[in-house]
């Protein structure tokens, strides 16, 4: 009999694990699967086990290709299975190509005369997924806000970051979900960040991979009215519920979609953007509507200098307006002096009311 041994965390069993077990079992006549105990998982991954150890053992033992299941209790990193391996003395230790502990595992095999077999990557029978991705999916919210940005946009793009710069933005309601999306698409409201969050993905990483900034997923995950420091990654300076903006914000759909990656390399006045971000940051600290409106007007001046089309300006009670995101289409955000003026503007085609959104409220 050729006895094969495999080990891993196997914390949340998925199709990739099953495929690995099947391929490992094909190397011999008997397969032992060792999984890291709850204590080992906590010690080395700082993560609670998804199931009690005995339940996990029963689940693995129920798989047709698994002949024996043991629980790894050794606290030596990468070798939690060491005691059982030395006791069982298998003929083969099977690992995947991306195994991180090759030298100590090969040394362990040498002690018992076992072969160290690296299984090549084969075409997955199911879309690849990791335990981390499954945990994110489980934890993903059922709904998420989009966002409006008031000032400092572009300073969240790592290559345009400025020491001492600020980005000011606000999560908004109505919220969106995978089943309901009450906004236009490609609209400059951070929809890709919300979509990533709802699907359990790392929104910040997804946006940076596109070559744009992190502000969308950062505020969508954080919620509230936020001030961020410019930099390579999100750094929150201030978060409030934005209650003083309630009843004072509206969106205007410009009638055409928007693409931030398509305009990221255009020339623009980053000094003026930084000044607007500073003005907005100071206004949020003071809860100063007039100061925030000033920052929005400064931001809009930069956008107009980039040849963006003028936005409607003859609305009673409107204090300031600007395109959301990179502009050149999508939505524009308007600030109003009071709720009555905002609601009156929303009687016009293309306008809709929005409110600050903070999680749990």
277 and 157 both lie in a single domain: yes
pLDDT digits (tens, 9 = 90+) for 8-45: 988 888 888 999 999 999 999 999 999 999 998 888 77
Tell which of 136, 159, 193 closes a domain. Answer: 136
64 and 34 both lie in a single domain: yes
Tell which of 136, 164, 196 closes a domain. Answer: 136
Closest alpha carbon to 35 in 49, 19, 15, 16: 49
At a CB cut-off of 8 Å and minimum separation 6, what does 203 contact? 192, 193, 194, 196, 197, 216, 217, 218, 220, 221
129 and 258 both lie in a single domain: no
Domain enclosing residue 291, as ranges: 140-356
So what's the pLDDT on residue 198? Answer: 86
Please tell me what DSSP assigns to residue 309: P
pLDDT digits (tens, 9 = 90+) for 252-308: 999 999 888 888 889 999 999 999 999 999 999 999 999 999 999 999 999 999 999
Domain contains 130? yes
Contact between 295 and 283 under an 8 Å Cβ cutoff? The reply is yes
Cα–Cα dist 328/332, whole Å = 10
Phi, psi at 178, each rounded to 5° = -65, -20
209 and 347 both lie in a single domain: yes
186 and 310 both lie in a single domain: yes
Cα–Cα dist 13/60, whole Å = 8
So what's the pLDDT on residue 48? Answer: 78
Q: What is the CATH number of the domain that holds 314?
A: 3.30.230.120
317 and 170 both lie in a single domain: yes
Domain contains 303? yes
292 and 240 both lie in a single domain: yes
pTM of the model: 0.69
Query: What's the domain count of the chain?
Result: 2
116 and 128 both lie in a single domain: yes
Angle (deg, nearest 10), helices 289-305 and 270-286: 170
Phi, psi at 214, each rounded to 5° = -100, 0
26 and 159 both lie in a single domain: no
188 and 301 both lie in a single domain: yes
Tell which of 109, 136, 163 closes a domain. Answer: 136
Cα–Cα dist 269/110, whole Å = 65
335 and 347 both lie in a single domain: yes
DSSP codes joined into one string, 336-348: ESSHHHHHHHTTS
Q: What is the CATH number of the domain that holds 21?
A: 3.40.50.620
158 and 78 both lie in a single domain: no
Q: Which residues pair with 92 in a beta bridge?
A: 4, 115
- % of the chain exceeding 70 in pLDDT: 92
Domain contains 361? no
Cα–Cα dist 230/28, whole Å = 57
Domain contains 62? yes
Cα–Cα dist 130/8, whole Å = 13
Burial group, residue 122, by CB count within 10 angstroms (0-12, 13-18, 19+): exposed
């Amino acid at each position: 009999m050729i006895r094969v041994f495999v080990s891993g965390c196997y914390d949340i069993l998925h199709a990739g694990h099953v495929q690995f077990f099947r391929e490992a079992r094909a190397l011999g006549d008997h397969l032992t699967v060792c999984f890291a105990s709850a204590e080992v998982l906590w010690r080395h991954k700082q993560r609670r086990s998804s199931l009690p150890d005995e339940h996990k053992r029963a689940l693995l033992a129920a798989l047709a290709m698994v002949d024996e299941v043991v629980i790894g209790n050794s606290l030596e990193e990468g070798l939690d299975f060491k005691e059982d391996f030395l006791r069982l003395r298998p003929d083969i230790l099977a690992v995947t190509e991306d195994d991180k502990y090759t030298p100590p595992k090969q040394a362990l095999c040498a002690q018992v005369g076992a072969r160290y077999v690296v299984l090549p990557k084969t075409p997955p029978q199911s879309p690849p997924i990791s335990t981390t991705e499954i945990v994110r999916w489980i934890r993903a919210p059922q709904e998420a806000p989009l966002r409006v940005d008031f000032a400092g946009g572009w300073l969240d793009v790592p290559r345009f970051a400025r020491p001492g710069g600020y980005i000011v933005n606000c999560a908004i309601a109505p919220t969106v979900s995978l089943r309901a999306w009450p906004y236009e698409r490609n609209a400059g409201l951070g929809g890709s960040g919300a979509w990533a969050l709802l699907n359990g993905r790392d929104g910040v990483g997804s946006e940076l991979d596109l070559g744009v900034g992190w502000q969308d997923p950062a505020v969508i995950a954080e919620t509230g009215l936020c001030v961020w420091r410019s930099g390579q990654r999100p750094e929150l300076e201030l978060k409030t519920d934005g209650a003083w903006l309630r009843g004072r914000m509206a969106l205007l759909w410009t009638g055409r979609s928007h693409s931030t990656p398509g305009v990221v390399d255009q020339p623009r006045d980053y000094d003026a953007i930084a000044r607007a971000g500073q003005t907005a940051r100071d206004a949020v600290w003071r809860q100063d509507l007039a100061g925030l409106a000033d920052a929005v007007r400064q931001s809009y001046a930069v956008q107009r200098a980039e040849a963006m089309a003028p936005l409607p300006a003859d609305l009673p009670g409107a204090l300031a307006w600007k395109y959301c995101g990179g502009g050149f289409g999508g939505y524009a955000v308007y600030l109003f002096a009071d709720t009555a003026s905002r609601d009156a503007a929303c009687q016009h085609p293309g306008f809709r009311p929005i409110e600050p959104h903070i999680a749990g409220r």
